[in-house]
Amino acid sequence: MKLALAQFEVARANPAENLVRIGERATTASAAGVDLLCLPEMCTTGFDWSYNREHLAAASKIIDAVATIARSHSLAICGSFLEQTESGNAANCFCYFDANGVLLASYRKLHLFTLFREEQHVEAGNECITVATDFGTIAAAICYDLRFPELFRRNTASGAFMHILPAAFPHPRLDHWRTLVRARAIENQTYFVAVNQCGLEGHHGSVDKTQYFGHSMVVDPWGEIVLEADENESLLDIEIDPRSVDQVRSKLSAWDDRREDLFRI
């Protein structure tokens, strides 16, 4: 399975520009034989909540445009997008489109980042989501979810061989990012794909400016970083072998040695 991680500076409150950027990266990834293009958190709008609320009714059309990009490039695409909920609120939603542009699964962010006052703008999800793909079961998470290991435990128990996390992780928490991404891979003996924004964003919640540090990465089931970006915009690709999960677990049986009688997930 060949993955591509699209790390870029999201144009705040400018879906048209972001869709162009996504389309360009899809063109490059498709030409390179990539199977799945992974995008960062809120990659079509950013976090301008006054703009997002005003244009919330158009969120579905933007998501449909991403589906069209997937279909036109015969390329699976996943990332996090603005979505309008059934109650009319905003949600931060992970979507997975297959190479035909079909939405296979959507996941609303469970853990809202109170430091940036996300709970004032976003309706939290209430369901863990995995998606069955041609390559195996893939699990969804978004940004702040990274700090809550029970989500990844639950999704691994549901059969996921890989977790994908679109994010907008900022300085000064790069050490947390690198440590937690590796920890989630090690403790579950799965692949972990974390794709982050980079660049500067203006007023955001409780802070005036936010500097996203990039460092999108892929970690294998041993916990080794097999791909890592720097802080600049990039499109990096890598081939992974889903069978590595079973191979690692056959050598170190930590996943099978869980005490499910005491700790029920």
Residue pLDDT, tens place only, 98-123:
999 999 999 999 999 999 999 999 99
* 208: in domain: yes
* 142: in domain: yes
CATH of the domain at 245: 3.60.110.10
If DSSP codes are grouped into helix, strand and coil, which group holds residue 30? Answer: helix
Q: Mean per-residue pLDDT for 235-256?
A: 98
* 141: in domain: yes
**Rounded Cα gap, residues 7 and 39, in angstroms:** 7
Name the amino acid, one letter, at 258: R
CB atoms inside a 10 Å sphere around CB 104: 15
> Is residue 265 very low, low, confident or very high in pLDDT (cuts 50, 70, 90)?
confident
* Residues facing 135 on adjacent strands: none
* 112: in domain: yes
What is the β-pairing status of strands 198-201 and 191-196? unpaired
What is the β-pairing status of strands 76-84 and 36-38? parallel
Name the residue with tokens 């998606």. Answer: 131
Provide the whole-model pTM: 0.97
Q: Mean per-residue pLDDT for 55-59?
A: 97
Question: Taking a C-beta distance cutoff of 8 angstroms, is the pair 29, 236 a contact?
Answer: no
* 259: in domain: no
* 260: in domain: no
Q: Residue 52 sits in which domain range?
A: 2-251
| pLDDT digit string, tens, across residues 72-90 | 999 999 999 999 999 999 9
Does the pLDDT of residue 202 top 80, yes or no? Answer: no
Q: Mean per-residue pLDDT for 185-213?
A: 88
What was the pLDDT predicted at 209? Answer: 86
What was the pLDDT predicted at 210? Answer: 93
Token pair of 65, please? 């445009």
Question: Taking a C-beta distance cutoff of 8 angstroms, is the pair 45, 52 a contact?
Answer: yes
Count of domains forming the chain: 1
* 90: in domain: yes
* 187: in domain: yes
What was the pLDDT predicted at 203? Answer: 63
